[in-house]
Amino acid sequence: MRCKVLVTILLMLGLQGGVSAVYSQETHPFTVHDLLAMDRISETQVSPDGKWAVFTLRKTDLEANRG
């Protein structure tokens, strides 16, 4: 019982550190450039049994004007 409590506390402290690192990053307003730089999902297909899905991930390269 005591071990479970200790593991839970350590896990919570570890997660809190990761979350605070995300919030400490400097943010900026979402722009059209951000939208264009996002990767795109296309050509989605679901298996006949419905258990699997596949898709194509299109990467955007703004430097080369591709994607």
pLDDT at residue 49 above 80?
yes
**Are 56 and 42 in contact, with CB atoms under 8 Å apart?**
yes
Predicted structure pTM score: 0.42
Q: Is the dihedral of CA 39, 42, 45, 46 positive or negative?
A: positive
Decide if 65 is inside a domain: no
Over range 17-38, report the average pLDDT.
Answer: 72
Decide if 45 is inside a domain: yes
Decide if 66 is inside a domain: no
Domain count for the chain, please give it.
Answer: 1
Q: So what's the pLDDT on residue 29? A: 87
Decide if 36 is inside a domain: yes
Q: So what's the pLDDT on residue 54? A: 92
Decide if 29 is inside a domain: yes
Domain housing 38: 2-58
Measured in Å, how far apart are the chain's first and last C-alpha atoms?
54
Decide if 64 is inside a domain: no
Q: How confident is the model at residue 48 (pLDDT cuts 50, 70, 90)?
A: very high
